[in-house]
Structure 1
Amino acid sequence: MDFDIEAASPALCRLRLGSALREIRLAANVRGSMVCKKLIWSPSKLTRLETGENATVEKADIMALCEIYGVEGKLRSELLDYATVTKTRKDWWASPEHRQAIPPGFRAFLDLEATATALQNYEAEFVPGLLQTEAYVRVIHEAAYQGLPPDVIDKSVAMRTKRQEVLDRTDPALKFTAIMNEAVLWRRVGDSGVMREQLSHIVEVVESRPNVHVQVVPYSAGHHPGMNGAFFVFQFPEKLGLKPMVYLENLADAIVKRAEPDVERYADAFSELRALAAGPKESLSLIKQAIKEH
């Protein structure tokens, strides 16, 4: 184990454990169907373990897998340590204060965000979540979740604000690169005051945090690789042994893509968007112009 398990978060341990279990199974040339048959598990249980989707992991399950895969000694001990952390510690979003505000499937995103060292985000319709002001996100949530009690909306807004603390994280530090469609600057969310505050906030964050970079894809760029919708590309510390992943979501579902061809496709799309977008300084000029016109 090449990191401090005493300081490791449950999110990190879930991801590292899942990745390790899949690598070990493949190296042992054991089919998932055989594991499920032997342990009388549903296929979805093994999938959740290998993708880190379970909030907690039972040590008995890890021991059973180690028996099948022939894992012993130090490696078995490390896998059990990962499972122990998921049972004995809680991520901030697992607290009663925030749990109710997490949509189905979004916990997987929070796991990735809490562990990544680099996050690339393309947004076509609204300001990226890590850059949203409280007033802006409140308008979005009130429109998207009509009929929800005000206290639930308040919790959703509070969770978004809490998430933004990741930009100030130091271990590991997060490099955040956001690319927005120019339409985001002009689509009015709330009144003009909300928009001026929101766009001014983006400028302030970019100018005060060297780990945050924002670019705008202008209308003049024409068609581009982001026209199929928003996406996130996550990269992780090399010592964790985690490969880059992609997160996608829509009205009905949220998906984490792990297959290398899929991840490469989105990584390439983001690179193309960066090339098509206005440069960082020009992008800030576009945002400042939008502030004046709002």
Structure 2
Amino acid sequence: MITDVEAATPALCRLQLGSELRQLRAATGLTSRQVVRKLLWSPSKLTRLETGENASVEPSDIMALCQIYEAGEEISELLKGYAAVTKTKRDWWQSPEYRPVIRPGFKAFLGLEATAAALHNYESEYVPGLLQTAEYVRVIHRRAHQGMSDGDIDRMVAVRMNRQDVLHRTSPLKLTAIISEAVLMRQVGGPKVMRSQLAHIAELAEAPNVRVQVVPFKAGHHTGMNGAFMLLKFRDQVGLRPIVYFENLIDSWVTRRQADVERFEDGVADLQALAPGPQESLSMIMKAMKEL
């Protein structure tokens, strides 16, 4: 549970609020359908509240739920406080400057990433987003979004750079980045951009909260060959189970199904066991820099 509500981010308040609401409803034995019937809400409204997907939350909605759940005065005031934060503050990605270039599914992911305690990311084609340089990002977006204005490309680059703040905050995200050797070989933007990018990875890998491993070609087939993914894990106080995030050129989505998540947890363990450790992986990165 958040102890300092006023200092908390809106994203964290939304997720904490959702967790508390789910627990309160479970304690009463009420189903989602029963609750929305009582309040004359759409089912999706309660779902969004319980999963923390709303950009802001109306305190009056929280009070209505607390009455149905017969929540005590202390917990009711706390939840109202969470809602108030979402009304008075904005996460950086809610800024009008970035809104035009952030898809709804990706916006939801940004909230999850900003509050996650750990992220395991496997990439086979390009450098993981949290390790990318601005030049590398720009090249990728220009190719993927041909015809997009320079201004929107600049906004997309800024979004990627702002995301990386999670690695440097007071309680930094623990990042495990597992990449295919192909990522080191692919000359995105040419030798100069790639040398700078690989040097950036090597520098970040020195941080205690960042672990980088490279799966070499000689390792043969492996579980990551089916595609890139991100596995996010959260602090106990948030009350969220791990989730897996995927994206492509036109869409992004998550899965929370426990069986699916467990398969990807096994996949991460397999990849980490297959890939050389951080020091040997760093040697591979330095070798690729020299060859450029």
TM-score bracket, normalised by the shorter chain, equals over 0.9
Aligned to 2:148: 148
Aligned to 1:181: 180
Deviation at 1:124, TM superposition (A): 1.4
Write the deviation string for residues 234-263 of structure 1: whole angstroms up to 9, x where unpaired. 222233333322222233432233333332
SS at match of 1:113: helix
Aligned to 1:26: 26
Q: Counterparts of 1:89-168 in structure 2 under 5 Å? A: 89-168=89-168
Deviation at 1:153, TM superposition (A): 0.3
Deviation at 1:157, TM superposition (A): 0.6
TM-score relative to the length of structure 2: 0.94
Q: Distance in 2 between matches of 1:32 and 1:248?
A: 27
Asked if the contact 2:19/2:238 (under 8 Å) is kept, the reply is no
Write the deviation string for residues 125-175 of structure 1: whole angstroms up to 9, x where unpaired. 1100111011110011111111111101011111211221221111x2221
SS at match of 1:274: helix
Q: Counterparts of 1:203-282 in structure 2 under 5 Å? A: 203-207=202-206, 209-282=207-280
The amino acid that maps onto 1:206 is A
Q: Counterparts of 1:3-42 in structure 2 under 5 Å? A: 3-42=3-42
Deviation at 1:107, TM superposition (A): 1.5
Q: Distance in 1 between matches of 2:190 and 2:105?
A: 31
Q: Distance in 2 between matches of 1:114 and 1:72?
A: 30
Q: Counterparts of 1:19-98 in structure 2 under 5 Å? A: 19-98=19-98
The amino acid that maps onto 1:24 is L
When structure 1 is superposed on structure 2, of 227-236 and 282-291 the one drifting more is: 227-236
SS at match of 1:173: coil
Q: Distance in 2 between matches of 1:187 and 1:33?
A: 51
Deviation at 1:275, TM superposition (A): 0.5
Q: Distance in 2 between matches of 1:122 and 1:12?
A: 25
Q: Distance in 2 between matches of 1:249 and 1:40?
A: 35
Q: Distance in 2 between matches of 1:157 and 1:236?
A: 26
Asked if the contact 2:144/2:249 (under 8 Å) is kept, the reply is no
SS at match of 2:214: strand
Q: Distance in 2 between matches of 1:160 and 1:276?
A: 29
Q: Distance in 1 between matches of 2:2 and 2:37?
A: 34
TM-score relative to the length of structure 1: 0.93
User: What is the percentage of aligned positions where both structures have the same residue?
Assistant: 60
Asked if the contact 2:57/2:84 (under 8 Å) is kept, the reply is yes
Deviation at 1:2, TM superposition (A): 4.6
Which 5+ residue runs of structure 1 have no aligned equivalent?
none
The amino acid that maps onto 1:190 is G
Between the two proteins, the alignment pairs up a number of residues equal to 292
Which 5+ residue runs of structure 2 have no aligned equivalent?
none
Q: CA RMSD in A?
A: 1.6
The amino acid that maps onto 2:204 is V
Deviation at 1:184, TM superposition (A): 0.9
> Does residue 291 of the first structure (1) align with residue 289 of the second (2)?
yes
Deviation at 1:267, TM superposition (A): 1.6
- 1:24/1:257 Cα in 2 relative to 1: closer, same or farther (>3 Å)? farther
Q: Distance in 1 between matches of 2:257 and 2:29?
A: 18
Deviation at 1:104, TM superposition (A): 2.5
